[in-house]
Amino acid sequence: MVGDDLLNANKVTVSFLIDGEWQTGIYDVDLDIAHGEVLALVGESGSGKSTFATSVIGLHNPNQTKVTGSITLDGKELIDLPDEEQNKIRGEKIGMVFQDPLAALNPLMKIGQQIQEALDIHDVYQKDQYYDRVIELLNDVGIVNPQRTANQYPHELSGGMRQRVIIALAIANDPDLIIADEPTTALDTTIQAQILDVLLEIRDRKDTGILLITHDLGVVAEVADSVAVMYAGQIVEKAPVQELFENPLHPYTRSLLRSNPKAEQADDELYVIPGTVPALSEMDHHKDLFLQRVPWMQDQADEDISDDLVEAKPQHFVRGNAWKTFEFQDEKG
């Protein structure tokens, strides 16, 4: 049902084995997605967004990656599932859409065959239903002449068409959750809007939950119901979309909003967040590392509140947690 919990991630921590040492990529991530909800996960490059997505679908190499915590889909624990079960869930319950559709398609196979194969694996459909189902899926993602497209090879299609095909593949088995990692980043604006519409239509029709990973706050404003902001492997703030745009709490969220080229103050110079996301080896999960990158926070250095702030764990900014709110200085000041 719409609004019921679909995905619950609890204290998800992922570490990578790097040069013989375990380094933490994401730390204590809590995220929930309801049936029919679009949750946008935003943050700079390297903040850990894809790492979270990969841990949900179990697509990591267990010898080099350690995932702890809990991720449940409709109550079923996904962490440490045997491969076979993992594959089944990945094919039937979770659909994936990534940035580069060409990489995800087999160049030597016609589109129709590829979709048929996705259906084949899970043998829900009888052989004679395949063709109809393939056409139906292509139709569902807004492809105008599905018979023709089914007969084409990936290289014969435009980028936008290929991404529609990828979505058709992702929804082939009616998943409950779609994970879309930068699904429109490589596309131009008009096509981008069309692809997002396709995803929203599927959500409306099937109450699919969607985890949408994006850099683009314009996209977030357009399609998300709620937003989680990730920085240096942690969720620093999450909120319903309108609340986040109207009243961002964490300084990082504020910086992100300021650095968004589509923000209203078009006459202002585009704000660039100084510095970069720390490397894994520099991360300290007991400190709010972002504060080092907020110049206007330095002005408050004398005030005792900033000491608290520096020591505060980012989770304290998560709405709903009782924590003192403080007044940030005007960011333009």
Ligand X SMILES: Nc1ncnc2c1ncn2[C@@H]1O[C@H](COP(=O)(O)OP(=O)(O)OP(=O)(O)O)[C@@H](O)[C@H]1O
**DSSP readout, 76-143?**
EE-TT--HHHHHHHHHHTEEEE-S-HHHHS-TTS-HHHHHHHHHHHTT-S-GGGHHHHHHHHHHHTT-
Residue whose Cβ sits closest to Ni ion: 50
- Considering beta carbons, is residue 31 or 143 the nearer one to Ni ion? 31
Least Å from the CB of residue 64 to ligand X: 6
- Angstrom distances, CA of residue 299 to CA of 109, 257, 328: 60, 20, 10
69 versus 142: smaller Cβ distance to ligand X: 69
Judged by beta carbon distances under 5 to 8 A according to partner kind, the member of ligand X, Ni ion, none in contact with residue 15 is none
* Interaction partner, residue 35 (ligand X, Ni ion, none; CB < 5-8 Å by kind): none
Is the separation of the CB atoms in 231 and 290 below 8 Å?
yes
C-beta of 68: minimal distance to ligand X in Å?
16
Least distance to ligand X from the beta carbon of 230, Å?
7
- N- to C-terminal Cα separation, the chain: 47
**CB-based contact 170:198 (threshold 8 Å):** no
Nearest distance from C-beta of residue 122 to ligand X, angstroms? 28
In the complex, minimum distance from the CB of residue 91 to Ni ion, in angstroms, rounded to a whole number: 22
For ligand X, the binding residues (CB under 6 A) are 16, 18, 25, 43, 45-51, 65, 280
Among Ni ion, ligand X, none, partner that 16 touches (CB below 5 to 8 angstroms by kind):
ligand X
Cβ distance to Ni ion smaller for residue 49 or 293: 49
- In three-state form (DSSP H/G/I as H, E/B as E, the rest C), the secondary structure along 146-171 is HHHHHCCCHHHCCHHHHHHHHHHHHC
- Given the complex with ligand X, which of 112 and 233 has the nearer CB atom? 233
| Residue 164 binding partner per list ligand X, Ni ion, none, with a CB distance cut-off of 5 to 8 Å that depends on partner kind | none
Shortest distance in whole angstroms from residue 56 CB to Ni ion: 13
Chain residues in the site for Ni ion (CB under 5 A): 49-50
* 331 SS3 class: coil
Can you list the alpha helix ranges (DSSP code H) found in the chain? 49-57, 83-92, 101-104, 111-121, 130-140, 146-150, 159-170, 189-206, 217-223, 241-246, 251-258, 295-298, 304-311
Kindly tell me which of 46 and 159 has the beta carbon lying closer to ligand X. 46
Cβ pair 203, 30 in contact under 8 A: no
Out of Ni ion, ligand X, none, which partner does residue 280 contact, by CB within 5 to 8 A per kind?
Answer: ligand X
Residue 226 interacts with, from Ni ion, ligand X, none (CB under 5-8 Å by kind): none
Q: Which is nearer to ligand X, 48 or 248 (CB)?
A: 48
